[in-house]
Amino acid sequence: MSFEEIVQRIISSRQDLTRDKIIEMIEDKKKTAEGYFTDEVAARLVALELGVEVPWWEPFRPEVSIKDVISGLNNVTVMGRVTRVYPVKTFTRQNGTDGKVARLLIADKTGTLRVVLWDDQTSLAESGGIERGQIIKVSHGYVREGRDGKLELHVGMRSEVQVSPPDAAESEYLPALSPKITKIQELRSDMRDVDVLARVVHAGEIREFKRQNGETGQISTLLIKDETGTISLNLWDEKTTLSKQLRPGDIVLAEGTYTRERFGNLKLNIDRRGSLRLNPKLAETEKLPPYIETTMKISEVREEGGPVTVKGTITATPNIREVVTARDEKVTVASFELADETGKIRVSAWRKLAEVAKDLVAGTQIEIKNAYAKKGFTDQLELTTRSFTTVEVLSKRGHNHPKVVNEQ
């Protein structure tokens, strides 16, 4: 119903009130909301307070702004662009039945609104039917306050969710999705829904592993860099195939990532809820440093961190041993000294790289890419390999013998 139709319905039902008085009440309602109510919404609320029945199912038009949504509305229709898709959660009701719930965050030019999907409706989020950046239209929803007092649009059995509705005004009504980019230097442990723009330094191979429940999972690790620092980015399961498309120097926008810190190492992660956009057209890409492979002299390795790339000659046969990690994992590690014309440094090569080191002898020239420097037991800087570290054998005792191997 239009504003005028609502006013006329009030007049016909409450003949004790003049039109001027009704308009005055509507204006007071708008003032109370500090301008967040449209004429129609304020008129509907006045009608509700006066006991005048005004059907809610006729009208929240798609162009109604999110800021006009208030608690208590039923059969409401709202349209917005999805800015976040949160994981589906299961729970047990008081009657013992199992339930599911999923949450989205949508936005238009006037604000943001949570959308809550229940039970069968959660399949849209669980199957990837709703993704970040899409426009959705929720019809016949109901609005309630969440535990934190913020409004939520609930999608129940009578509700309908339409993805990419034909009446969506891409350019006029809904804003383009502009990511809020977090710099690598700003990342901290246990952050969620983080967007990072960075350049690829290294794209690792896909590796399989066993989960505690016996299922097989997949992981691929990228090394990415922005103007503030470098970090590992783990791609999990179906996201691992993206690593096959990447080359050093590519720019990626990692959206919806989360951070985890283990054994002092902070890493970014993308699972099925996140996304990875290759070479996005964003103004911020101009700030990223160019991809340049730089080889350091050993004497230039002066502080902890990395990644570090050095060339040198192995001074003695590597020492091979097995160790048990903090995760109770038995792995092989090779230790050896690497020297160039400027100095010497101890190197610890792990896993597959340790196996390669078994065949290396004194006098072998190698290049180690993307290693990390840290202080050893003697408080001297050492190099250690990680999942994205590679070793290229340049020559053995003066004979050219190119070979590239990484730790994975």
Q: What is the pLDDT of residue 56?
A: 55
| pTM confidence score | 0.58
- Please state whether the peptide bond connecting residue 307 to the residue before it is cis, i.e. omega within 30 degrees of 0: yes
Q: Among 123-127, 193-197, 204-208, 311-315, which stretch is predicted with the lowest mean pLDDT? A: 123-127
Question: For 59-88, what is the mean pLDDT?
Answer: 75
Q: State CA 401 to chain mean position distance.
A: 42
| pLDDT of 197 above 60 | yes
Q: What is the pLDDT of residue 402?
A: 47
E-strand spans in 129-287? 135-145, 151-155, 160-163, 194-203, 207-210, 216-226, 229-236, 251-262, 265-270, 275-278
CA–CA dist 408, 2 (Å, integer): 65
Residue 328 CB coordination number (10 Å): 6
Q: Which domains are delineated in the chain?
A: 3-163 (2.40.50.140), 184-287 (2.40.50.140), 298-406 (2.40.50.140)
> Residue 29 has which token pair?
């309602």
Q: How much is the mean pLDDT over the chain? A: 84
Q: What is the pLDDT of residue 64?
A: 61
Q: Scanning the structure block, which residue is given the tokens 């007071």?
A: 28
Q: What is the pLDDT of residue 250?
A: 95
- pLDDT greater at residue 299 or residue 15: 299
Q: State CA 39 to chain mean position distance.
A: 39
What tens digit of pLDDT does each residue of 239-270 get? 999 889 899 999 999 988 999 998 778 999 99
Cα-Cα-Cα-Cα dihedral of 225, 228, 232, 233, to 10°? -70
CA–CA dist 396, 14 (Å, integer): 99
Q: What is the pLDDT of residue 279?
A: 87
* Identity at 111, one-letter amino acid code: G
Question: For 217-234, what is the mean pLDDT?
Answer: 93
- pLDDT greater at residue 88 or residue 197: 197
Cα end-to-end span (Å), the chain: 64
Question: For 67-96, what is the mean pLDDT?
Answer: 83
| pLDDT of 401 above 70 | no
Of 192, 218, 194, nearest to 207 by C-alpha is 218
pLDDT confidence bin for 337, thresholds 50/70/90: very high
pLDDT confidence bin for 298, thresholds 50/70/90: very high
pLDDT confidence bin for 164, thresholds 50/70/90: confident
| pLDDT of 33 above 70 | no
CA–CA dist 184, 172 (Å, integer): 34
| pLDDT of 223 above 90 | yes
pLDDT confidence bin for 291, thresholds 50/70/90: confident
Q: What is the pLDDT of residue 153?
A: 92
